[in-house]
Chain A
Amino acid sequence: MSEDRILKLDRRNGLSRRTTLKGLGAAAGLIAAPGFVRYGQAQSSAPIKIGFQCHRTGIGAAYGRWYERVTAAAAKRINDAGGINGRPLEIVIEDDGTDPKRGAEVVEKFANQHKVDLVYGTLFSHVVVGSAPAAGELKIPYYVVSEGYHVASGKLNRYCVQPGITDVKAQVRSVAPWIAGNLGKKVTLVYPDYAFGHDHRDFFEPAIKAQGGEVVAKVPIPPTETSFTRYFPQIPSDTDVIYHVMVGPAVLTFVKELGEFFGSGGPQLFGFIDSLEAVDIKSPGLEFLEGSHFWEGMPRYAQPDQPDYVTAYREAVGIDENGASTGDAKDISTAAHMFGCWETLNIIKASMEACGYRGPEDRAAMIEATEAMTEMEAGPDHPQGKKLFNGKTHQVFGEQSISQVSDGKLKVVHRTSIEDGSYEPEADYTTMSF
């Protein structure tokens, strides 16, 4: 049953039938082999069912495609190693259309119709915020992979956790010390004038001040803007660093016009790869980024000194040295975020094993087991790096990469520490009842 489901999931990702069958064969062999008794000894061999709330259609579809590929690869790895508590993992996909209302419907369907053990995998913040109340009411664990600050802010409920990816507040804070120490202390912020940009503005300003730096100007850009040159004169001439977080279809135009405005000089640039996730850095228009720096959750390009488990992870999820699909060089992955699916599934496994999860009656125990987690070492289960989970805020904190564009590729020049990004807990979900 579970093998069928994983087969189905793998297939949709284009993993070859042969590979899939080989994996299945290996798993089947393990059950029969002397000394391997995990499936055999389990009280129940019924699959653990995980509802994958996937952005299959709508604005999140490009991310959804990669979240699904990584989920399939991580589930296969878990099953090949004997499943969870000796039970195979089964992934059930529902498309939420990247729509909060549908997101809530999907959570309800997972709980009542598919009767899954938990819901997992949501990326877009508005879908997380729209779906979380349903998860709370239905008392079903909701493991999100969204990098939003909404979990740590305490706005959600006890069933919502984000253990596989650092939130945006910590990401922003973590890069401030390196910027102040290496690029300069006078920073101008250029950001889209709505919640996403405001988060960056509000999180970065105190963080850079704490490093002895200052924000010398803030340049908010209306979200519907597609031409940017007229905003650039607002950038003070004594700016050391432009911190930019533009998103949307006009990002390439933004970079091109920035290049035209500053020519060969101008301040240093520091950006968030969110702007160019799944976009080829070598695209026409992005030439001005050469030499500039970016935050990356996990490096898109293979690094010469990367550990073996990173290489194994990249092979498993099917990305080449440029971070593109191994079967399609033009299909650039969402490398900076999708590792969160891999890590979250491993944390789900660890939590279920820690609490001896048997079925929905143990959902609360599972959340408590996740809350009890603290340090997670970098390794095959956590290829992005070392992490520290805060049980009170239900949010994980991790190391981040700062990369420089060099010959059209991103080369990691610094790894931030967990302490660089961490902040005092602003919520305590553990005091909330189930």
Chain B
Amino acid sequence: MSDRRDATSLFASLFVGIFFSLMWCSRAFAHASDRGHVLLLPTHYYLFGGMLAVALSFLVLVFLPPEGLLRLSSQRLPIARIRFDGRGFVSCLSALFLAGLIYTGFAGSRDPLSNPLPLTVWTLLWVGLTLFQGLAGNIWAWLNPWYGPWRLILRLGVPSRGFLRLPRAIGMIPAVLLLFAFAWFELIYPAPDDPARLAIAVLTYWVFSMLGAVIFGYHGWSRRVEFLTIFFTMISRLSLFSLRRETGRSRVLFVGVPGHKLRDTAALPLSGILFLLLALSSVSFDGFMRTFLWLGAIGVNPLEFPGRSAVVLPNTIGLLSMFAALCTAFLLAVRAGNALAGGEPPRRAAGHLVWSIIPIALAYHFSHYLVAFAINSQYALSALSDPLMQGWDLFGTADMYVQAGVALGAESAWKIWNAQAFAIIGGHVFAIIVAHMIAHRLYGGRKRAGLSQIPLAVLMVLYTVFGLWLLSAPTGG
């Protein structure tokens, strides 16, 4: 009991500390929408405060007995018993919905802010669902548009394990390549929002993945190739809820502290580590490629951005470089940690510790896409109500006035910046805690675990500062 109280008070003191460091700044500057207003905010205090908060939380963890934290994270409360498995049915509905969306991509408005396809893919799915998965759990297991159709295909006599086996040696490499293609399409391709082009891309990928699930078996395919399932499943490990199979179709829904599922997750193979780090580096690069620093480095006047088509090559190189840099930094940090801890290094330390990146990835996702989500989700609600521009009003939202003002003006900028900063700092503090718990399991003993985490903690402190700088630096493009 006292251990639990210790852990609870630790969480509380960390977050209260961050909260007060932010509030202290708010007195100096009560008010700021876009980057112009943010440039007037005392963001350097946040960078310093964030650095301090993450570093201090590491120090606190090093000197605090880990048992309370470990016990707290192992607590799970059953909250509901689910006696049916509706995944197949919901997934079929989802596939039908996707078919409808693809149709609207071809036949609906040419305006990317009126056509539901780009708004659903880029805003509701890539941003909204990711955040939902991170908080509430793996709803993608129900929503993905392949599982249900695959179950139907099984009824035709197709074997559930498919006809062929994916070679073991390739690990998750196909998923890494597909995630890279996805990130490249989103960040670098000149027209990812174009409804017809996106419809072709989505249709091609759906057919490709459906064929893959049939040929190689759904489970193998969705664990090693289908990057959306892999990504969403990874993110959902941060959520409060988990589902455990009991007997037959009956399953129990548990609730626990955030990240309780990350503690004892199996190690990822090298390709899985690369996958997770690619997810984080792509969102990071999305911010970085707009900064004056990057635009200046590739010889582009940030006040006269020439359009995406002019920067395809440098940005491709930039994305790859950021990925390479992050992977190198992470793997070196784990290696240095092994050296500091001394003794026999644990097997697959990097594969275990990489799970601590999940809170950071989710925090980056939230902070980076907050403004776009606030506005484009409104466009999405409006577009979904009249998907083919026929004057329908399916959900009563076709005529809603899109409030761009939620992200405009000094006051909004102030609120948005605080939310972003809080998420970035909180995500890193959380990552430190998760990494610490994993380290205890891997290295055993407080001293070894603490020593092993010094390099990774330094990396996380630096990434906190980098994340806050990305959100406060002048941008163009």
Contacts and interface: CB of A to CB of B under 8 A. Distances in A.
A361 interface: no
B328 interface: no
Contacts of A99: 190, 306-310
Contacts of B35: 249
Contacts of B412: 330
B402 A101 contact: no
Contacts of B39: 226, 249-250, 252-253
A59 B476 contact: yes
Nearest to B296: A224
A327 B382 contact: no
Interface string B306-323: 111110000000000000
Nearest to A325: B405
B194 A95 contact: yes
Contact of B405 (A95, A127, A196, A328): A328
Main DSSP-derived SS at the A contact region = mixed
Contacts of A223: 301-304
A425 B171 CA distance: 68
A92 B111 CA distance: 9
B474 A14 contact: no
A282 B411 CA distance: 11
A8 B383 CA distance: 10
Contact of B391 (A7, A16, A196, A332): A7
B309 A280 contact: no
Interface string A377-412: 000000000000000000000000000000000000
B40 A97 contact: no
A250 B310 contact: no
Interface stretch (A50-58, A141-149, A157-165, A236-244): A50-58
A73 to B, nearest CB: 14
Given A97-B308, A195-B304, A330 B405 contact: yes
Contacts of A14: 399-402
Nearest to B33: A330
A223 B474 CA distance: 11
Contacts of B406: 330
B119 to A, nearest CB: 12
Interface in B180-215: 190-191, 193-194
B109 interface: yes
A31 B296 CA distance: 58
B393 A94 contact: no
A123 interface: no
A251 B109 contact: no
A93 B109 contact: yes
Interface string B462-477: 0000000000001111
A65 B410 contact: no
A306 interface: no
B113 interface: yes
Contact of B114 (A12, A98, A194): A12
Interface string B82-93: 000000000000
B42 interface: no
Given A92-B110, A224-B296, A284 B399 contact: no
A281 to B, nearest CB: 11
Contact of B410 (A95, A98, A283, A328): A283
A299 B64 CA distance: 63
A328 B307 contact: no
B400 A283 contact: no
B394 interface: no
B179 to A, nearest CB: 23
A284 B32 contact: yes
A191 to B, nearest CB: 11
A56 B113 contact: yes
A126 B306 CA distance: 7
A94 B302 CA distance: 25
A102 interface: yes
A57 B187 CA distance: 13
B307 A256 contact: no
A327 B400 CA distance: 10
B386 interface: yes
A39 to B, nearest CB: 20
Given A126-B304, A223-B304, A283 B37 contact: yes
Interface string A213-250: 00000000001101000000000000000000001111
A95 B111 contact: yes
B286 to A, nearest CB: 14
A95 B114 CA distance: 11
A125 to B, nearest CB: 9
B34 interface: yes
Interface string B109-153: 111111000000000000000000000000000000000000000
A305 interface: no
B275 to A, nearest CB: 28
Contacts of B113: 12, 56
B292 interface: yes
A194 B299 CA distance: 13
Contacts of B409: 280, 283, 330, 332
Contact of A249 (B305, B398, B474): B474
- The residue in A58, A102, A252, A325 that gathers the most chain B C-beta atoms within 10 A of its C-beta is A252
A315 to B, nearest CB: 16
Contacts of B402: 14
B36 interface: yes
Nearest to A93: B111
A240 B404 CA distance: 40
Interface in B372-416: 382, 386, 389-391, 393, 398-406, 408-412
B31 interface: yes
- The residue in A7, A14, A196, A330 that gathers the most chain B C-beta atoms within 10 A of its C-beta is A330
Interface string B21-40: 00000000101111111011
A329 interface: yes
B289 to A, nearest CB: 13
A330 B412 CA distance: 9
Contacts of B309: 99-102
A126 B403 CA distance: 29
A95 B292 contact: no
A248 B109 contact: no
A46 interface: no
A158 B403 CA distance: 40
Nearest to A251: B36
A226 B112 contact: no
A155 interface: no
A223 B29 CA distance: 27
A58 B391 CA distance: 28
Contacts of A95: 110-112, 191, 193-194
- Sorted nearest first, the 8 A-B pairs with minimum C-beta distance are A99-B307, A330-B405, A14-B401, A101-B309, A249-B35, A8-B389, A328-B405, A327-B401
26 contacts: A4-B390, A7-B391, A8-B109, A12-B109, A57-B193, A92-B110, A93-B109, A93-B111, A95-B111, A98-B305, A101-B190, A126-B306, A127-B307, A248-B36, A248-B474, A250-B474, A251-B36, A283-B32, A284-B32, A284-B40, A285-B40, A328-B404, A330-B404, A330-B406, A330-B408, A332-B408
Interface of A: 4, 7-8, 11-12, 14, 16-17, 54, 56-59, 65, 92-95, 97-102, 126-127, 192, 194-196, 223-224, 226, 247-253, 256, 278-280, 283-285, 324-325, 327-332
Given A102-B307, A223-B301, 10 more contacts: A8-B114, A11-B386, A58-B305, A94-B110, A100-B306, A223-B304, A248-B36, A249-B39, A250-B39, A283-B410
